[in-house]
Copies of this chain bind each other. A is one copy, B any other.
Amino acid sequence: MSDETSLGPGREFDLVRVMMSRWGDRARGIGDDATVLSVPTGEQLVVSTDASLEDVHFRRAWLAPAEIGWRATAAALSDLAAMAATPLGILIALTLSERWLDDLGELAEGIAESASAAGASIVGGDLTRGEQLAITITVLGSTAAPMRRDGAHPGDILWVTGQLGGPALAIAAWNEGRQPTPEARARFARPVPRIREAQWLARAGASAGIDISDGLGGDAAHLAAASGVRIAIDADALPRAPGADVSTAQRSGEEYELLVTTRSPLDAAAFQREFNLSLTRIGTVEQGDPGVDLLIGGERVASPTGYDHFSP
């Protein structure tokens, strides 16, 4: 945590010590103004930054502090998965409000668990006092061949990992004053960035890829726009979480599953065996105005395009 790790006095240092004692050797290289890292020879650096704020991305009543830390970190790491990159490390900019001070250790633990599970060390950060809990994670990775959004071509096949709808079901339950099912809750509280799965898909010939953060409809639209293609999604083929209807499955955001296109069919059974995760063919890439159609009972309907944190 740059300056704050040196032996200065003050409460900020005490707070950093709480985190460092949790992290142990899951943190490294912290203590100078900046962190020095090596990018493997022949590979390029892949970077992204992602903020998670209380009452924007989660509510305190919904999650344990360790889950909040895990989720913020997993969300950021998913951007490395979307590029089929291998994680190198993460930097954490943490803004703490007074009422979160006692939860700092648990937050830090969740962050470290999530980073560790993805093979990323904690390599730096910044700690600030503020009005609202904010966890901003910058992820650093590398790859010789990044998977991008703009490589889809007409005739390609569209695939998705896992089952969709769990996070939306969990949020709906909480908003209605109910407890979500354990399965739906886990999909929201402990999402898994599909790091190794993305590398498998890239090796298997993925022409384009994106992670599902805005919802299948929205992210398919991003991929379609970047590639200049039209995407047709077969509603009947969507792999749905238990209890999720088609609308929920295609709107549900923060899934962190992968949406990829390939020129040729994939061995979905081999993928399932390796990762214990489904890989489902859900549509096709077509020529046409960039956008997404949902095919429901043979009929085309324009797909809604996800949600927007700035909308009411």
Q: Is A37 on the interface with B (CB-CB < 8 A)?
A: yes
Q: In the complex this chain forms, how many copies of it are found?
A: 2
Contact of A34 among B2, B79, B306, B308 (CB under 8 A): B79
Q: Is A182 on the interface with B (CB-CB < 8 A)?
A: no
Find out whether the CB atom of A290 lies under 8 angstroms from the CB atom of B7. Answer: yes
Q: Is A11 on the interface with B (CB-CB < 8 A)?
A: yes
Within the complex, the shortest CB–CB distance from A58 to chain B, in Å, comes to 12
Find out whether the CB atom of B93 lies under 8 angstroms from the CB atom of A10. Answer: no
Known: A8-B218, A221-B7. A36 touches B32 (CB 8 A): no
Within the complex, the shortest CB–CB distance from A190 to chain B, in Å, comes to 21
Q: From A31, which residue of chain B is reached at the shortest CB distance?
A: B226
Total count of chain A residues near the partner, CB < 8 A: 78
A sample of 12 cross-chain residue pairs with beta-carbon separation below 8 angstroms, ordered by A number, consists of A2-B79, A3-B214, A7-B222, A7-B290, A8-B214, A13-B308, A38-B44, A47-B140, A49-B92, A129-B309, A129-B310, A136-B136
Contact of A51 among B34, B35, B83, B136 (CB under 8 A): B136
Q: Is A148 on the interface with B (CB-CB < 8 A)?
A: yes
CB 8 Å contact bits of A210-234 with B (1 = contact, 0 = none): 1101100011011001100000000
Q: Is A173 on the interface with B (CB-CB < 8 A)?
A: no
CB 8 Å contact bits of A254-288 with B (1 = contact, 0 = none): 00000000000000000000000000000000000
A38 to B67, CA, bound (A): 34
CB neighbours of A34 from chain B (8 A): 46-48, 79-80, 82-83, 85, 139, 141, 146
Find out whether the CB atom of B10 lies under 8 angstroms from the CB atom of A311. Answer: yes
A82 to B33, CA, bound (A): 6
CB 8 Å contact bits of A299-312 with B (1 = contact, 0 = none): 00000011011110
